């Protein structure tokens, strides 16, 4: 008898960018309103662990993990009633530059991963510009 095992790997999007700014500068920008909006969208503000955020485009979530100059992890809902996904932003000093790595995990099957990849690439570009 033949058995079939169905495996479903969680879908995710990963984007990275090395910016020509030291880690302290990038972190300081993210802690200001314009830097948080660069990441989350207009109106989105980062807070401490457990704090809610909401952007004017309807996306919202909760800060899940907050490690200064290392990592910010937050839940992300595309809109009211949308499933919860997780976004993890890691920052690492790379000489006089900073490597940003963003992973958006637990994506539902029907989400447009290419669109999310473009969204997060643009967010990292905005963070780079804001740190200038």
Tokens of 109: 């099957």
Domains belonging to the chain, first-starting first, are 11-130 (3.30.530.20)
The pLDDT tens digits of the residues spanning 30-70 come to: 999 999 999 999 999 998 899 999 999 999 999 999 999 99
The SS3 assignment for 16 reads strand
Beta bridge partners of 101: 16, 90
pLDDT digit string, tens, across residues 65-117 = 999 999 999 999 999 988 999 999 999 999 999 999 999 999 999 899 999 99
DSSP 5: -
* C-alpha span between 46 and 101 (Å, rounded): 17
Cα separation, 29 vs 31, in Å, equals 5
Q: Is the pTM of this model over 0.75?
A: yes
């Amino acid at each position: 008898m033949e058995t079939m095992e169905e495996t479903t790997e969680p879908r995710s999007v990963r984007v990275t960018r090395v910016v020509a700014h030291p880690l302290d500068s990038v972190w300081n920008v993210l802690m200001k309103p314009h830097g948080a909006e660069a990441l989350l969208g207009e109106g989105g503000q980062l807070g401490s662990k457990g704090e809610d955020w909401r952007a004017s485009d309807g996306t919202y979530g909760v800060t899940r993990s907050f490690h200064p100059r290392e990592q910010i992890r937050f839940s992300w809902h595309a809109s009211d009633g949308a499933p919860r996904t997780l976004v993890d932003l890691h920052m690492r000093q790379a000489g006089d530059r900073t490597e940003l790595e963003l992973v958006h995990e637990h994506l539902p099957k029907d989400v447009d991963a290419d669109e999310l990849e473009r969204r997060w690439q643009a967010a990292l570009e905005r963070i780079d510009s804001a740190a200038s």
